[in-house]
């Protein structure tokens, strides 16, 4: 082992390669590292992050590149680096461990383990010297090493207790929801979803949109639930809060006004100061949210942002002939946000004075800057309803088009932030879902074709020789098995693929994928799915990832998949499994609304009953395209131009001269219709 590189040199992950020249003797996550810990009796440091993580970069510069700090780490610990995007199960397991210690999660995540691999302490970013109540990293290293050598009994007892907590099933970690928790009147007790809404309602930021205070995350799963609940229960307040939140976010700094795309979160309440990194999954989920809102009530500003979002994804995240990259960094040239921000002199050098004044009239600009002496470009905040704001922002966007294009051309000459080029199966399948929904909203056949291509690429190349789904392409150095989130979103993408083209050869593929997921991941004892398959030597074992974090829980996505696929393919066993999942998590869903919104989406759908639409006749594909352009949560569509289908939604339908719609909603079937106006009336039923 030399100081010039460590055991990360041969890895493929951009994050691990970023640390390959650290003087720290990093191992990747492997059995060799655990063997060395057991042999030497050293405690283990597991340091988890990802390539586009700003504070990961900071801690690397301050500590992991410091020869003295590295020497201390090498002498007293076995040090392991993990890319959370390669091993989400490892990340989730240790994130929960840290949260059980009463410490907020985040990245970098630094966890200390006994030589046998049990966690006993951890945290996120540690500075090089004590700061803001945080101890220095070197202090933590010394204190924990001393505890291991002088008080090993205390350390091992802490590790034992923590490991016991981590091994409890998800539903058993919380007390069941008591009647007293369902506080309020008798009406609320009789309608748990009204109570669920009321608890979310308490978190509405009616001034800036979204939920809660800073730091501000879009919370897409919560927005999906509010859209669906507002629609079906005719609660305008819920629906309009989603629209208002979108109007705010899409005009604020969290949205890249120049190049499109949304940052991961904002550090302020008003969405204006982004944490500049752009994650594929955030932008995939945003696509679906905007598309659903556009279908619910179209607006030119939403159409513009949908087109800009797709343009950003095609231009900056699409990899040649494969899939889409996982993330774009916040930093360039070692400075957070440098690629995206502007001083007035910089803008004046690009624009004429008249154009600069035009920009000033719509955007927040000043000589002093709105962030660290520079300007993040975003629209001035306006009063009024969501539609009043979007009306004005659409006019401003039209007027500023040439100005923003000139700024974009100048920005392209800057040093770009790095892109993490990992093509992750689940995130790409999630993007395909967003593209399908956006294609349906705007009638864009080219977007649908790109979604088809992406699903086909994943289905063809992200599989092992035995046909099982992989996390990355089979040609990757680490051809890791797929995790639950990968399979759940792949199944979801297949379901949406079949909405557009029911006669595509995906019904059998869908059935095989669902059955494989059940075989490899389902935990009959708890009633939910594991996140990972049986692990290799040195792994942390099976884990359940049950709450929504940056993206919806794979378990929650799978529950909705089972419900919809059961209706589409007539599989009562899947329907029963989905119901069992709902029952297993019911109390947790209602006790933690903001963390369980995607679970709530599926559970609410099961409570009211999913809707189905059968389209039968020669023009069924054209008619399905029309149906998909309307907002109707929980709608499962099948169609055919033939008489001989055995699929349950269409098996008993006769093919007539005119294409017919057969609609069933919430356990009620309505008379068949053949006119688009009649279909619209049916799809608007509450």
By the 10 Å C-beta count (0-12 exposed, 13-18 middle, 19+ buried), 262 is classed as buried
Lookup: tokens for 364: 């927040």
CA 414, 417, 422 angle in degrees (round to 5)? 140
Cα gap 63→137, rounded to integer Å: 7
Q: 465 lies in a domain?
A: no
Classify 390 as helix, strand or coil. helix
Q: 551 lies in a domain?
A: no
Asked whether the predicted pLDDT for residue 535 surpasses 90, the reply is no
- HEC string of 227-277 equals HHHHHHHCCHHHHHHHHHHHHHHCCCCCECCCCCCECCEECCCCCCCEECC
Asked whether the predicted pLDDT for residue 538 surpasses 70, the reply is no
> Which of residues 109, 139, 168 is at a domain's end?
168
Phi, psi for residue 104 in degrees, rounded to 5: -65, 140
Asked whether the predicted pLDDT for residue 1 surpasses 80, the reply is no
User: Tens digits of per-residue pLDDT, 444-483?
Assistant: 999 999 999 999 999 999 999 999 999 999 998 878 999 9
pLDDT for res 537: 45
User: What's the pTM?
Assistant: 0.93
**Domain tally for the chain?**
3
Both 420 and 311 in a single domain? yes
671: left (phi over 0), alpha (psi -120 to 50) or beta: beta
Both 275 and 152 in a single domain? no
Task: Name the pLDDT band for 188 (thresholds 50, 70, 90).
Answer: very low
Q: 422 lies in a domain?
A: yes
| Nearest residue to 94 via CA among 107, 76, 78, 79 | 107
Lookup: tokens for 684: 């608007």
By the 10 Å C-beta count (0-12 exposed, 13-18 middle, 19+ buried), 573 is classed as exposed
Task: Name the pLDDT band for 387 (thresholds 50, 70, 90).
Answer: very high
Both 257 and 401 in a single domain? yes
pLDDT for res 167: 78
pLDDT > 90 fraction of the chain, expressed in percent and rounded: 84
Q: 228 lies in a domain?
A: no
pLDDT for res 644: 67
Q: 587 lies in a domain?
A: no
Both 143 and 258 in a single domain? no
Lookup: tokens for 291: 């598309």
Helix%, strand%, coil% for the chain, nearest 5: 50, 10, 40
* DSSP E strands, 102-211: 109-113, 119-123
Both 159 and 274 in a single domain? no
pLDDT for res 347: 97
pLDDT for res 258: 98
pLDDT for res 567: 96
- Domain of residue 106 covers 14-168
User: What number is the average pLDDT over the span 45-63?
Assistant: 95
Q: Which of 48-52, 185-189, 602-606, 674-678 has the lowest mean pLDDT?
A: 185-189
Both 127 and 257 in a single domain? no
Asked whether the predicted pLDDT for residue 566 surpasses 90, the reply is yes
Q: 619 lies in a domain?
A: yes
pLDDT for res 142: 97
Question: What is the pairing mode between strands 528-529 and 522-523?
Answer: antiparallel
How would DSSP label each residue in 101-132?
A: TT----SSEEEEE-TTS-EEEEES---SS-BT
| Nearest residue to 56 via CA among 107, 10, 20 | 107
Asked whether the predicted pLDDT for residue 184 surpasses 80, the reply is no
Both 296 and 422 in a single domain? yes
* DSSP state at residue 464: -
pLDDT for res 5: 65
| Nearest residue to 95 via CA among 481, 596, 549 | 549
pLDDT for res 623: 92
Q: What is the CATH number of the domain that holds 98?
A: 3.40.30.10
| Nearest residue to 672 via CA among 623, 630, 634, 629 | 623
User: Tens digits of per-residue pLDDT, 59-118?
Assistant: 999 999 999 999 999 999 999 999 999 999 999 999 999 988 888 888 999 999 999 999
pLDDT for res 544: 87
First CA to last CA distance, the chain: 67
pLDDT for res 171: 43
CA 631, 634, 636 angle in degrees (round to 5)? 95
Both 311 and 434 in a single domain? yes
Element (H, E) at 663: strand 660-665
User: Tens digits of per-residue pLDDT, 404-443?
Assistant: 999 999 999 999 999 999 999 999 999 999 999 999 999 9
User: Tens digits of per-residue pLDDT, 112-142?
Assistant: 999 999 999 999 999 999 987 789 999 999 9
Asked whether the predicted pLDDT for residue 540 surpasses 50, the reply is yes
pLDDT top residue among 166 and 203: 203
Both 155 and 46 in a single domain? yes
Query: For 285, how many CA atoms within 13 A lie in the half-sphere containing its CB?
Result: 28
> Which of residues 151, 168, 185 is at a domain's end?
168
Q: 45 lies in a domain?
A: yes
Q: 329 lies in a domain?
A: yes
Task: Name the pLDDT band for 169 (thresholds 50, 70, 90).
Answer: low
Asked whether the predicted pLDDT for residue 175 surpasses 60, the reply is no
Cα gap 211→117, rounded to integer Å: 38
User: Tens digits of per-residue pLDDT, 636-664?
Assistant: 999 998 876 789 999 988 888 899 999 99
Both 422 and 277 in a single domain? yes
Question: What is the average pLDDT value for the chain, to the nearest integer?
Answer: 92
Asked whether the predicted pLDDT for residue 216 surpasses 50, the reply is yes
User: What number is the average pLDDT over the span 596-601?
Assistant: 97
> Which of residues 384, 418, 443 is at a domain's end?
443
The residues, any chain, with a CB within 8 Å of residue 542's CB and separated by 6 or more, are 523, 530, 531, 532, 534, 535
pLDDT for res 497: 96
pLDDT > 70 fraction of the chain, expressed in percent and rounded: 95
pLDDT for res 178: 30
CB atoms within 10 A of CB 658: 11
pLDDT for res 268: 97
């Amino acid at each position: 082992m030399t100081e010039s590189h460590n055991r990360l040199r041969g890895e493929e992950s951009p994050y691990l390669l970023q640390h390959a020249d650290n003087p720290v003797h990093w191992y990747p996550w492997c059995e060799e590292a655990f063997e060395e810990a057991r042999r030497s009796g050293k405690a283990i440091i597991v340091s988890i992050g990802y390539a586009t993580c700003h504070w990961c970069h900071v801690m690397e510069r301050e500590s992991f590149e410091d020869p003295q700090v590295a020497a201390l780490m090498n002498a007293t610990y076995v040090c392991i680096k993990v890319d959370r995007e390669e091993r989400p199960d490892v990340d989730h397991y240790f994130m929960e461990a840290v949260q059980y210690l009463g410490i907020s999660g985040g990245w970098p995540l630094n966890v200390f383990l006994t030589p046998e691999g049990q966690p006993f302490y951890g945290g996120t970013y540690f500075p090089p010297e004590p700061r803001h109540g945080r101890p220095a990293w070197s202090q933590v290293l010394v204190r924990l090493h001393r505890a291991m050598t002088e008080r090993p009994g205390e350390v091992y007892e802490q590790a034992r207790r923590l490991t016991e907590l981590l091994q409890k099933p998800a539903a058993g970690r919380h007390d069941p929801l008591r009647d007293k928790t369902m506080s309020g009147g008798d009406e609320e007790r009789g309608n748990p979803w009204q109570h669920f809404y009321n608890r979310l309602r308490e978190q509405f930021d009616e001034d800036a949109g979204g939920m809660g205070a800073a730091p501000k995350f879009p919370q897409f799963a919560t927005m999906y639930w509010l859209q669906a609940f507002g629609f079906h229960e005719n609660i305008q307040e819920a629906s309009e809060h989603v629209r208002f939140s979108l109007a705010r976010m899409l005009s604020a700094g969290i949205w890249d006004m120049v190049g499109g795309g949304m940052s991961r979160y904002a550090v302020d309440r008003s969405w204006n100061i982004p944490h500049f990194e752009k994650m594929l999954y955030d932008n995939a989920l945003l696509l679906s949210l905007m598309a659903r809102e556009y279908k619910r009530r179209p607006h030119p500003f939403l159409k513009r942002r949908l087109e800009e979002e797709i343009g950003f994804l095609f231009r900056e995240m699409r990899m040649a002939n494969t899939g889409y990259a996982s993330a774009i960094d916040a930093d360039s040239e070692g400075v957070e946000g440098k690629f995206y921000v502007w001083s007035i002199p910089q803008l004046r050098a690009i624009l004429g004075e008249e154009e600069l004044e035009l920009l000033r009239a719509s955007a927040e600009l000043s000589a002093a800057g709105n962030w660290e002496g520079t300007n993040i470009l975003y629209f001035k905040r306006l009063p009024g309803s969501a539609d009043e704001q979007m009306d004005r922002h659409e006019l401003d966007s039209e007027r500023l088009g040439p100005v923003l294009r000139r700024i974009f051309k100048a920005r392209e000459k800057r040093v770009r932030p790095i892109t993490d080029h990992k093509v992750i199966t689940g995130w790409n399948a999630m993007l395909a879902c967003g593209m399908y929904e956006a294609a349906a909203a705007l009638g864009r056949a080219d977007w649908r074709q790109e979604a088809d291509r992406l699903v086909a690429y994943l289905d063809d190349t992200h599989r092992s020789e035995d046909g099982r789904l992989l996390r990355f392409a089979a040609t990757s150095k680490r051809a890791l098995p797929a995790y639950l989130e990968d399979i759940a979103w792949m199944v979801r993408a297949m379901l949406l693929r079949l909405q557009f083209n029911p006669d595509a050869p995906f019904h059998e593929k869908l059935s095989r994928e669902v059955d494989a997921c059940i075989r490899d991941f389902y935990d009959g004892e708890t009633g939910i799915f594991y996140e990972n398959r049986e692990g290799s030597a040195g792994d942390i074992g099976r884990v359940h990832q049950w709450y929504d974090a940056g993206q919806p829980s794979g378990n929650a996505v799978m529950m909705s998949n089972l419900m919809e696929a059961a209706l589409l393919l007539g599989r009562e066993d899947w329907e029963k499994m989905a119901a069992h999942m709902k029952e297993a998590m019911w109390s947790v869903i209602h006790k933690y609304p903001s963390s369980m919104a995607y679970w709530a989406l599926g559970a609410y759908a099961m409570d009211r009953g999913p809707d189905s639409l059968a389209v039968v006749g020669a023009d069924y594909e054209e008619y399905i395209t029309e149906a998909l352009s309307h907002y109707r949560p929980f709608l499962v569509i099948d169609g055919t131009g033939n008489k001989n289908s055995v699929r349950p939604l269409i098996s008993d339908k006769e093919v007539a001269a005119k294409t017919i719609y057969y609609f069933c909603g919430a356990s009620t079937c309505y008379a068949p219709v053949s006119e688009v106006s009649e279909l619209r009336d049916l799809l608007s039923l509450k």
